[in-house]
Structure formats: structure tokens, C-alpha cells
Copies of this chain bind each other. A is one copy, B any other.
Amino acid sequence: AREALIFERSTPGTVGYQLPAFDVEPVDPAKTLGAELVRGEIADLPEVSEVEVVRHFHRLSQWNYAVDEGLYPLGSCTMKYNPRINEELARLSGFAQVHPLQPESEVQGALRLMWELEQALIGITGMARVTLQPAAGAHGELAGMLMIRKALEDRGEGRRTVLIPDSAHGTNPASAVFAGFKVKEIASTSAGTLDVDALRRELESGDVAALMITVPNTLGVFEPEIAKAAAMLHEKGAFLYMDGANLNAFVGVASPGKMGADALHINLHKTFSTPHGGGGPGAGPVAVSRLLEPYLPVPVVEKRQGVFTLDYDRPKSIGKVRSFYGNFGIMVRALAYILSLGRNGLKAMTEAAVLNANYLRRALAEHYHLPYQSPTLHEVVFDDSRQKPFGVSNIDIAKRLLDYGFHAPTVSFPLIVHGALMIEPTDSESLAELEAFVEAMKAIAQEARENPELLKTAPHTTPVRRLDEVRAARQPILRWYPQGAESP
């Protein structure tokens, strides 16, 4: 049974909430504010009781797939288990009910938590300092690129070109542009990695501000010449921006600091397991080298004589990239995760992530085509070229997986692989779960040969069938209107 929109469940006169007693003199807002500033009741807001609200969202929730249901192999998204203790801790009154503008003396616990998280991230990345302010990975990219821009300006340089490999996430070019740069793509090598020679050629222009690169890249392949690339960049006065979306592949094994990164954003909602929330909130702290430290957003948390304080007095700072100090509630969860695992556990999880991905790579290699043969770490990218002859695309395979009770892999990138199936099992999965996934993928490969129509019309058992996405885009309906009302 479909669940109506909450607006369609409305019954006039019903209430879903009661406010605390109204214990002051009533006012006439037309008088206190002026009639032209005031509105009346908003006609189309719903009138529903509490139980109806509870049931509405309960039923909606049942149409979602989630990590708690099973394997969620969305490549590049690191859909790992979200520990319940972290949810408990983020809800502690002493964290959730703290106002950001209380005097510092009243929020020492919150400031300490931020300071401790920064220290932990410094330890993990080998970088000089970290800003916790950005709200998401892409936001971190932007903050990082703004720091690079400011550093260049500080040197009096007007460089404007940012190099980005063709395998990169779409956020990289977008963020570079929003930071005021021009983007130039570099083609990957046949091994799927950075073409260092191409980089060298590009650097000769003198206009290169930075290279933005994901390590390991979106194929899951480690960039073997990353340190060399960094040296080349630095030598030419350019910066290395590292996209940390795939940090889960090497925590405790290698460090961006040693790779020569100048800025690196860290998706706390990936590597450090804060819940994705159906699309956020996440957090995208940016770790920087000494070179970029002066440009960090304000404020930063400092510890002075055992007292934690917010330092706004940073003349070279890029300023602020959002309100207050970042997604504090996400920081609580991430630090709890880091402390729960510790140095031993973090490395064990890295190994598990890479073992799991390589298990899938080997187990699926006879059924799906592997476009790049380079060794991979925490994820593996197949393509649909063996299924294409039967008219079956990566999308069809993805949709059919939903019928088998799994989430689909990433199919929209990397752009260098046509018909990609980018699979990242993460460290949370048991062999039993991986085996079940392999069985499903094998069955689908067979179905592709024997009954391609079944895949092309998949999914069949989900709450809704395949959607008309073209219609959604051509005749956009982006909100509910009451029956009979015209969309203006």
C-alpha cells in the first residue's frame, strides 16, 4: 500500500502537538508588528495527529534500503556500519543542547572534543593542522582550494589553472571553479593512474595553481608516483590538493603528509563512519600542510594553559566557509569511532576493507569485465562490456541487484570507464555477506545471457518499479499542491 503525502492525510481541526501554556498577555500582532508584516494561518499546512505522523514516517522508512539491511556496495561512498554508541553520545544533553555562542568557559567540553578530533586527524593524516568547519566533502574541497588561492595571492601570484585527472569525482572540478579557478583535465594512463609526464608538461605553463587528485583514485588504484608528483608541483610553486574520499583504503598504512599533500579533505561520514542520513549531514574537515596553515578558516580551537579557546585572530585566514564551527554533532560521532578503534583497530579496518574488496574482485572477475588490471585497494571497478552484447547495461545490473536484496554499486562514474560498476564493500562485511553478494552477481550475469529482458525491466520486487526519470526532469513537479490548485 502506498503512503499518501502528509498533506493529503490532513483532517481539519486535528492537532499533532500541544505547546506549553500561554502564560502572558495575548498580543495582537497586527498592532505590535503592523498588519502588513503579519500573515494568518498557512492554509495548506496539514492537520494530523501524532500517531498519524508517527505512522507516516514509519511507513516511509520501510521503503528505504540502508546499511542496517545489508551490503551497500556503493563505490566511493564507504557505506560502513554506523555504531550505535556514537548515536547515543551525540545525543548527550551536554553536546546536543549546547549553544554555539555561550561563553567559552561554559563550553570547554565541546572545545576539547574539537581539539582532540583535530589532534587525531593530524595523527592519522600526518598533516600540520585541520579545520573542522566544512560541512561535507565538497565543502572541504572548496575550503581547501580557497586556501590555496589565498596562499597564491599572498605570494602575488595570479595562477588560475587547476589540473584534475579525468577519473576524478565531479565535485573536484566544481569546487575548483567555485574557488575561482579554471579546470584542465589530464587523461589517465592505461593503468588508470596519473600521467606524470602529462603533469610535467602542464606545469611548464607556470599557471598551474594545483593538482586535485584522489588517492587511491576512483578505480581503487593507489597512485604510485604521488610523492613524485607532489615534488614536481612544489618545485613549480604549485600545490597538491588531495581528495580524501578514499582515505578508508590506507588509514594506518600510509599518510597524505608523507605523500606531500598540501590540503586534504576528510569525509568523516565515510572513513570515520558517521551516518549518511539519506544524503547528509556529513562533515569535511580539511587537513593542511604548514604552508597553508595561516589560511585556515576562522576560528580554530587552541589550547592555552589547559584552557580551550576559539582563535579568530588569524589575519591571513580565508575567513569563514559557514556559520559557527562545523557539524559538531558529526564530530562527536567521528571521534568516538576513532577512539573506539584506536591505532590497532583503525589499521585492522583498513586491512579488512582492502581484503573484502579484493575478495570481490577475484570472485567476480570471471563474470564481469575488469577494464583496468592494476592492483586495487578498497574498491574495484568492473564494467558491463560482457553484458552489453545482450543489450544489458550497468544500470540494468544495478537495478536487478535491488531485487536480490542488495543495494547497487556506483554506476555514474568514474567517467573513464564506460558502463562502470564500482564496488566498495567496506570493512563492515562478513565473508558470508560477500558470498551472498557474489552469488547474486553471478546469477545476474547468467540472467543477462539467458533472459536479458528480466534485467532491462528490473527491479521487480521493490516498493516501486523503474521510474520515469525523463518525465521528472521535463515536467518538473517539485512540491505538492492542493487538489484543484494550479501549479503557478
A interface residues, Cβ below 8 angstroms from B = 1, 9, 11, 49-52, 54-55, 58-59, 62, 68-70, 81, 83-84, 405, 428, 430-432
Beyond the given pairs A49-B430, A51-B81, A58-B69, 15 more chain A to chain B contacts, judged by CB atoms under 8 angstroms and listed by A's residue number, are: A1-B405, A9-B430, A9-B432, A11-B430, A11-B431, A11-B432, A50-B81, A50-B83, A50-B84, A52-B430, A54-B68, A54-B81, A55-B70, A58-B68, A59-B69
Rounded to whole Å, the gap between the CB of A90 and the closest CB of chain B is: 16
Q: Which residue of B lies closest to A53 (CB)?
A: B84
- Contacts of A428 on B, CB cut-off 8 Å? 51
Distance between Cα atoms of A49 and B49 in the complex (Å)? 40
17 contacting pairs across A/B (C-beta < 8 A):
A1-B405, A9-B430, A9-B432, A11-B430, A11-B431, A11-B432, A50-B81, A50-B83, A50-B84, A51-B81, A51-B428, A54-B68, A54-B81, A54-B84, A55-B68, A58-B68, A62-B62
Most buried by B among A1, A11, A54, A69: A54
- Contacts of A83 on B, CB cut-off 8 Å? 50
- Contacts of A11 on B, CB cut-off 8 Å? 430-432
Q: Which residue of B lies closest to A58 (CB)?
A: B68
Q: Which residue of B lies closest to A57 (CB)?
A: B68
- Contacts of A405 on B, CB cut-off 8 Å? 1
Distance between Cα atoms of A69 and B431 in the complex (Å)? 34
Distance between Cα atoms of A215 and B81 in the complex (Å)? 51
Q: Which residue of B lies closest to A428 (CB)?
A: B51
- Contacts of A59 on B, CB cut-off 8 Å? 69
Distance between Cα atoms of A9 and B436 in the complex (Å)? 13
- Contacts of A84 on B, CB cut-off 8 Å? 50, 54
Distance between Cα atoms of A430 and B48 in the complex (Å)? 9
Rounded to whole Å, the gap between the CB of A435 and the closest CB of chain B is: 12
- Contacts of A62 on B, CB cut-off 8 Å? 62
- Contacts of A81 on B, CB cut-off 8 Å? 50-51, 54
- Contacts of A1 on B, CB cut-off 8 Å? 405
Q: Which residue of B lies closest to A340 (CB)?
A: B18
Q: Which residue of B lies closest to A48 (CB)?
A: B430
Distance between Cα atoms of A374 and B105 in the complex (Å)? 70
Rounded to whole Å, the gap between the CB of A355 and the closest CB of chain B is: 14
Distance between Cα atoms of A270 and B68 in the complex (Å)? 32
Most buried by B among A11, A49, A430: A430
Rounded to whole Å, the gap between the CB of A149 and the closest CB of chain B is: 41
Distance between Cα atoms of A265 and B430 in the complex (Å)? 50
The 4 A-B pairs at the shortest CB distance, nearest first, are namely: A51-B81, A58-B68, A51-B428, A1-B405
Distance between Cα atoms of A59 and B428 in the complex (Å)? 17
Rounded to whole Å, the gap between the CB of A68 and the closest CB of chain B is: 4
Distance between Cα atoms of A1 and B84 in the complex (Å)? 25
- Contacts of A431 on B, CB cut-off 8 Å? 11
Rounded to whole Å, the gap between the CB of A246 and the closest CB of chain B is: 21
Distance between Cα atoms of A54 and B1 in the complex (Å)? 27
Distance between Cα atoms of A92 and B54 in the complex (Å)? 22
Q: Which residue of B lies closest to A80 (CB)?
A: B51
Rounded to whole Å, the gap between the CB of A351 and the closest CB of chain B is: 15
- Contacts of A52 on B, CB cut-off 8 Å? 430
Rounded to whole Å, the gap between the CB of A440 and the closest CB of chain B is: 10
Distance between Cα atoms of A377 and B62 in the complex (Å)? 34
Rounded to whole Å, the gap between the CB of A13 and the closest CB of chain B is: 12
